[in-house]
Structure 1
């Protein structure tokens, strides 16, 4: 490879995380055969190098109640702010450039369902199903559903739930990497929240227990009595349906004073810590996501990531018919080719709209009706990746919805689901920061639910699902959620 004129350059762009964006690694490797030199685009470990996408936060000084603030953020950006870690606390503080030091709404509100979470919220710390590992003593948890509860470990290694305000010894995790990971027992009696604060200030966090082996390691440290671990239950939920378990409450908060403090604000003059307040109070607030363009989708984007662009313009030949002709619009779409861990994908780069006259035929309607015969609903709860693997192993693929006709069939199938949402073959690529269908097909059809439009839901680790009821809109959900799913199949399905 001494002849520089005959060799493609080697390009490497380092992945970097800041509070506004993430830059992917792109490596172009030259492979040589006897005929010619071919550049190959390889994507290596992109998401594993990034602990998560920090949302882009915007501070709005206009005072609104929580519901009005939520509506404003969904119309102008993506949603009210979701907080994932302490870095995001710093980000929202930096977003305030007006000198404001009071209280501002974030996207956390009280829900009806109590759920268990780990204090260490970073999902990349947990392998598949480790976030849901439990080792309850028989009969536990016997939680009072009207109060938040916290988990502790007996000297036997089994867990129990208790009032978070009780004082116990506690166990911290020193660090999350193998070279500094370890567990330390603090023989100081603190409430669960006090213990969490101590661990975060002096170590990493209250300990997470990810598997049985780790449970035994922690038990060896505990030896006797009982101690708090990092598991807690609460009813709080995020406006954008994120599964972030990060909490940053002020001391003795939330207290639900008066019985109707159901919304959360960051107290900026107190390090951004949180209080619960009445939702009807008017305050400034934080939005997340990019400001929405006034130009409707689809947009025209320039090619930036691929050395080769292919034209996949859709073609239409009007069918002969005795019915009256109708004039409609058709689009030609240009795509870029990408290679990802789920296979090759196409990204739309330009759209041209033109009008043509067509005549509908009986043959066309028959083909449209029969498309639903090749879709199958699996009433099994799987993560998005598990659903994709299952469809590819037992059928063809997760379903792609690129036309209104396919959406209609998917909606019919989804109505029989046992979960509120059903996985589609739609995923956000954190490498190139766009949504794509795992089965590469041209089409510009969109059916996003309000507040879940692509411009505002660009979150690494999210995939697309369809509502099983209502209007059957698409939503963006964490891939770790366990849902029913719809596959393409080669076997015709009965109705």
Structure 2
């Protein structure tokens, strides 16, 4: 995000003293503020320190190669000694621990497992600065309304070349307040147009990365700048020929693919067997009563003689033998294993879950709740849902409680919509999560996030 600094910088940071995973912290900030905090310099680091009360907390840096949740381009880092170290290959999110970490001194950053629970800091794009970069992609008219309603401001007015160049460095391809009406160009705050920097002409203006402006269709979706007047499902298998315990194999598959292989029929069993080169390997079935690692319904089985009834009093997992039969053995035995992945990169999960539980499930498996960007995708997902008995299926679509607009949690623009009764009100509602409704011809409905439905994950 892009700001002009003021003495009231701390007023745009909000410490949330509730311990949650990094993904849930990101979702909370996007719904209730703007995003997880981005830190651009030592001054901001110190301001946040003063508000944190000394407890460890999440910031918006993640994923190694590191990037900020809000898309900001800050290169400032404040790592503790020997960090980031990606310990055990699971540390993809960043915490700040002002009490120190592993004896390396306080006031430093550490990479950590994203599933740990910590407090966190949110950013508000409408802080007390003279300009605010808002990363949401909206139409020009919606951007004007956003600035007016949420920031008591208007879209940015650009007065000279220096200002244009400065804005382009931080906030390229963003709406500014210039629009063509009645054969004239006008600023949205009614200022006279005394300076222009056109590349070519259309109806609404965007600022480009080289500082020049481009006119754009006003219905295009872009981030934008606000201005204050004052400073105040078909599946395939991947065989991993590394001997691991069942739990380690499960974790490996969930990180790098989808999950350990769940086998639904004899054809899939034969396909899995062909991958293993006649070497016994883990599959996703575990424990008695038997269940699948990816929560799929367990119906097909192919046990060796009497194997399904042994190990009643121990933790038991399943491997497929060199002749295709299944054998139950101790889960701590080290074996090669088989991962499953989906050719279409979208998988239906039948387990009824709340919206946040569904989000957590997908993100723990290197995926996200499904987003839909076109009629083609809508039809494909509808066809997948049509093969199930689920009346409603979660989508990765949420409403901002603070600002009222809807957004995809995987950060794709909301360029396509298919609501049952047209778009919901932009006023924050008591039903701020979206689902696909099979009984409404697969159109979308807004419902309570605490309802429990099946869901679809799209793998990255």
| Greater RCO (CA < 8 Å, at least 6 residues apart) | 1
Q: TM-score, normalised by structure 1?
A: 0.29
Q: TM-score, normalised by structure 2?
A: 0.31
